[in-house]
Chain A
Amino acid sequence: MWAVFKKELKSYFLSPIGYVAIGLFLLVFSLFFYLTTISIRAVDLGNLYFNTARYGLLVIVPIITMRMFAEERKNGTEQLLLTSPKSITGIVFGKFFAAVALIAMTLVISLIYYVILCFFQAPNIVPTLVMILGFLLLSMAAISLGMFASSITENQVIAAIITIVFLVVPWFLPNLGEAFTIIDLMSSYQKFPAGLISVKEVVNLLSFAAVFILITIIIMQRRKSVK
């Protein structure tokens, strides 16, 4: 897992993707920082993280996950991975955590906004860290979804579209019925922005991630045995 993780993380920064993703992410952050705090003179970062999670992840996650397996399959480098003695589980987790690490880096940079607010009135640091933790869990769930989309196709664009559709469609499902709220990832990011850790939300996000990681592992395992 470690070898794949290292190489994947390096690959993000050898191609423009890593820089583009972080740059776009920070752009969205800054935009909402202005809208949710500066313009209304609030010292609460909750809205910042909530809105960035809602709209930022929609753009960033497909960018960093679409190439994961689709590119390898298209270039044939998948063969190198599948024929190596490393386990599929290790490979999938290596790739997964490389993407998570990329988002974690951005989140560390996002502490800038906390520092800026400190010039006016320092918000409590603990709730901010909780928001960031929740954000990380949320992006793990979204990344697992994107990874799954990438593993079922060799076309990166299709992988990206599948991810976006899966992320956007649940927004409108609650209008059809209350039961659909569970599918919406954002419904599990309601208490975090207030600085609260809710067991329900944590379990929701982690199990969501686990399910899609598992499906990805199964798909790759199948590809290995079929080949």
Chain B
Amino acid sequence: MPEGTPLYTELTVREFVNYMADLKSVKAKEKKQAVERVISETGLKNVENKLIRNLSRGYKQRVSLAGALVGNPDVIILDEPTVGLDPKQITEIRSLIKNLGKNHTVILSSHILSEVSQICERVIIINNGKIVAIDTPENLESKTEEKDIIIVTVEDPKNNMDNLKNTISEIQEVKLLKDNEDGTKQYQITSSSGVDLRKKLFETLPKQEIVILELKKNESTLEDAFIKLINNTTEQNENVEPEKDKEILKKEKEEKKQAKKQEKLSKKQAKKEQKEKNKKGGEK
């Protein structure tokens, strides 16, 4: 399914899907059934006799999807399927794609990463034409979490938060994020790695006469992971590649030279062998 949903707008939905079925050489016997199935699968039943020109964008997107689905392909490639849709249409299309994933391999290209983490089982991040990461979205998210960061919103009239570092030894840093107007404050607490402080905080803070209003772990999203990965690779490229490139190029050149030499040698040998064979044949 291409981006921008190119469609024959002078046709009706059914005519278009029929045409796509013809183009994909669906057999005449199975065609009617295939078209029927795709139309109901994509929820186009109630607009099947309307001209595509008069449909809303969400429906057009679905018609395009129906065109891609007819003929039951093993792999479906979708290019930004939810661009320009309203939230309701987006959720509909997403659930449709999720359903498709049960029977087909769906390759989805998208810039909306929240969508990707919702729908996809595996993510490939590509930067400048190179694959940066291949993993499940959950793994990518957890990989980029460096330290355990906890965010708390508290009511702290006696300013006991400043002394917190002394009472809990695992805390590395307490940083004030926001001083809200209603007297509550939001802090970011960094602990030494691998320690989950939430339980401890929950037990100790009330003793210090601090009321906890909110306590949450700072979860990194796929977006954070994406930015980090992209930044890492571009930095690497900038710092290391020029020198490495030269070295690699040199090596490659040498390797090529050697390969050529070897080829020549092997050809010569082959010729020699043939000559010898011929000679032997002549002698015989």
Residues of chain A at the chain B interface (Cβ within 8 Å):
2-4, 6-7, 10-11, 14-15, 75-81, 84-86
Contacts and interface: CB of A to CB of B under 8 A. Distances in A.
B24 A76 contact: no
Given A3-B19, A3-B22, A81-B23, A11 B6 contact: no
B203 to A, nearest CB: 61
Contacts, number: 44
Given A76-B2, A76-B4, A85-B24, A14 B10 contact: yes
Contacts of A76: 2, 4, 6
A2 B22 CA distance: 9
Closest 5 CB pairs of A and B: A76-B6, A3-B22, A84-B23, A14-B10, A77-B6
B11 interface: yes
B20 interface: yes
Contacts of A81: 23
Interface of B: 2, 4, 6-11, 15, 19-20, 22-25, 67
Task: State the main secondary structure of chain A at its contact with B.
Answer: helix
Contact of B23 (A14, A78, A80): A80
A84 B23 CA distance: 6
Contacts of B19: 3, 7
A78 B2 CA distance: 11
A85 B25 contact: yes
Among B4, B9, B19, find the residue whose CB has the most chain A CB atoms closer than 10 A. B19
B6 A75 contact: yes
A86 B25 contact: yes
Nearest to A83: B2
Contacts of A80: 2, 6, 20, 23, 67
A76 B5 CA distance: 8
Given A7-B19, A75-B6, A79-B6, 11 more contacts: A3-B19, A3-B23, A6-B22, A7-B8, A10-B11, A10-B15, A11-B8, A11-B11, A77-B6, A80-B23, A86-B23
